[in-house]
Amino acid sequence: MLTAARNEMLTRVGPGTPMGELLRRYWQPVAGAGEFDANPIKPIRLLGEDLVLYRDLRGRYGLVDRHCPHRRADMSYGWVEDNGIRCSYHGWLVNETGRCLEQPYEDTANPKPSKAGCDTKAYPVKECAGLLFAYLGPLPAPELPVWEPFTWVNGFREIVLADIPCNWFQCQENSIDPVHFEWMHDNWGSRLRGGDANAAPKHLKLKFEEFDHGFIYKRVREGQSEQDRYWTVGRVALWPNGFYLGSHFEWRVPVDDENTLSVAWFFMRVPKGREPYVQERVPTWVSPIKDENGRWISSHVINQDIVAWVGQGRIADRTKENLRSSDIGVTMMRNRFFQEMDAVAAGKEPAGVIRSANAAACIALPNMAREFNTEGVALADFDKDPILRQRLKEFRHHYGQPAAVRRAFVEAMGISGA
Ligand code: FES
Ligand SMILES: [Fe+2]
């Protein structure tokens, strides 16, 4: 249980709030680069700030204030040119550094040597593994961590976005919550398919550890032992707002205090013998979370998680909870956030910020699936692993995979589309 004041600290993300200041020290994934092929301008809201993300005609990404520096028209209704984005109201042009380059009427009728004071807010953007990352903190920006899976080759990658109407922190608490797999995904999943028993293997033992890039949780369930990779390797709650499960990442990116952008990045190694496989463009798609009756969609794994997150309310009231031993990891994570908020307030660099390009270039994480993802297995052997077999049949993580993405996946894997 937390006091209301501590809950506010964990959940408020706007500029000047302790958590807002902490999260601004890290690069945040905000979009898929492929989204900008069809439309080079995307309005986004991030950490309570209204912004526009764009790709100019020279291929440079910019993230600038949604409001024009002139009289605050909406820049997302402008257009991109060689050198930036132009407002459709009176044609002012700004670039990715926030510089105001052109003010067409003034430039023609009343030219002034300087446009000083007319610059707009702008944040750095980097592309990696098909994702666009933004950094909203003090400069110089730290290195963008290149997680090892981003360097893997011969795989089909896809990015799935979902707009979640609740605070980010309750989503991130789900990244350090092993027991929910038994209930939410196994037992509830079985009920949704018509089952009538709580037959999933029970969790017998849990362990939570901290490491350089977050937390690792380990578990033993009925039928498993301490020799199992779920205990020897475990899974990663990636600091500060990610989740890493071996072949995919999820991030819970704060839009504002009451909304979260779920960003998930998936990798599926092509079967041995299908190399080389080169993916021209990583597809990005948006997963719907409500059905036609206004109920949350519950058929897919991450959609089930979303039911839990939004069910806790727009901002979970942690003054009313009852934490038990299954929640030790949740408490560890909260305490670490409180410590790191204090560190930032004291002018220190918080945990997990990387300043060395070498250190950031390829960061290995505990990974139960490295061999499969790097070496691959023959298609005939996919059948031996229930998770791989299922993965070939359908995309179970998020509802609504577009047919074109499925077709590209089928083609990459060299399987029939059925
Ligand atoms: S408001 Fe954008 S150019 Fe005038
Ligand atoms: Fe889950």
Q: What is the pLDDT of residues 396-417, one digit of tens each?
A: 999 999 999 999 999 999 998 6
pLDDT at 304: 98
Mean pLDDT of all residues in 117-123:
96
Mean pLDDT of 288-295: 98
Residues 148-159: tens digit of each pLDDT: 999 999 999 999
Token pair for 158: 């896809």
Q: Which of 66, 90, 107 to mutate to test the pocket of ligand 1 (most atoms within 8 A of CB)?
A: 90
220 contacts 231 by C-beta, under 8 angstroms: yes
Nearest ligand 1 atom to alpha carbon 78? 2
| Tens digits of residue pLDDT in 36-55 | 999 999 999 999 999 999 99
Question: Looking at beta carbons, which pairs linking 212-218 to residues 24 or more positions away fall under 8 Å?
Answer: 212/352, 213/145, 213/238, 213/239, 213/352, 213/363, 213/365, 214/238, 214/239, 214/240, 214/242, 214/352, 215/176, 215/239, 215/329, 215/332, 215/333, 215/336, 216/366, 217/176, 217/178, 217/329
pLDDT of res. 59: 98
User: What does the pLDDT average to over 175-201?
Assistant: 97
Question: Which of 68, 74, 75 maximizes ligand 1 atoms within 8 Å of its Cβ, making it the mutation to test the pocket?
Answer: 68
Q: Ligand 1, closest atom to CA 72?
A: 1
What average pLDDT does the segment 63-72 reach? Answer: 98
Between 133-137, 178-182, 318-322, 378-382, the lowest mean confidence (pLDDT) is in 378-382
Ligand 1 atom at shortest distance from the alpha carbon of 90: 3
Q: If you average pLDDT over every residue of the chain, what do you get? A: 97
| pLDDT at residue 113 in the model | 74
Cα-flanking dihedrals φ and ψ of residue 387, to 5°?
A: -70, -45
What percent of the chain has a predicted confidence (pLDDT) above 90? 95
Q: Which ligand is nearest to the CA of 74?
A: 1
Per-residue pLDDT, 61: 98
Max mean pLDDT range (114-118, 245-249, 385-389) = 245-249
pLDDT attached to residue 106: 94
Distances (CA, A) of 412 to 90, 106, 152, 218, 343: 47, 54, 15, 33, 46
Higher pLDDT, 267 or 416: 267
| pLDDT for residue 416 | 84
Mean pLDDT for 220-240 is 97
Residue 35 pLDDT class (50, 70, 90 cuts)? very high
The predicted-structure confidence for 310-357, as pLDDT tens digits, reads as follows: 999 999 999 999 999 999 999 999 999 999 999 999 999 999 999 999
Binding-site residues, ligand 1, Cβ < 6 A: 68, 70-71, 73, 87, 89-92
pLDDT above 60 (res 175): yes
Helix (H) or strand (E) holding 46: strand 41-46
The residue to mutate among 66, 71, 76, 94, having the most atoms of ligand 1 within 8 angstroms of its beta carbon, is 71
From residue 84, alpha-carbon distances to 64, 73, 78, 92, 124 in Å are 10, 16, 10, 10, 14
CA 261 – CA 251 distance, rounded (Å): 8
pLDDT for 418 equals 53
Q: Which atom of ligand 1 is nearest to the CA of 91?
A: 3
In the sheet that holds 125-128, the strands lie side by side as 28-32, 131-134, 125-128
Q: Where are the beta strands (DSSP E) in 231-339?
A: 235-238, 242-244, 248-256, 259-269, 284-286
User: Residue with the nearest Cα to atom 3 of ligand 1?
Assistant: 90
Among protein residues, the one with the nearest Cα to ligand 1's atom 4 is: 90
pLDDT for residue 116: 85
Q: Closest Cα to atom 1, ligand 1: which residue?
A: 71
pTM of the complete model beyond 0.85: yes
- Check residues 13 and 113 and name the one with the higher pLDDT: 13
Nearest to 136 by CA among 23, 293, 264: 23
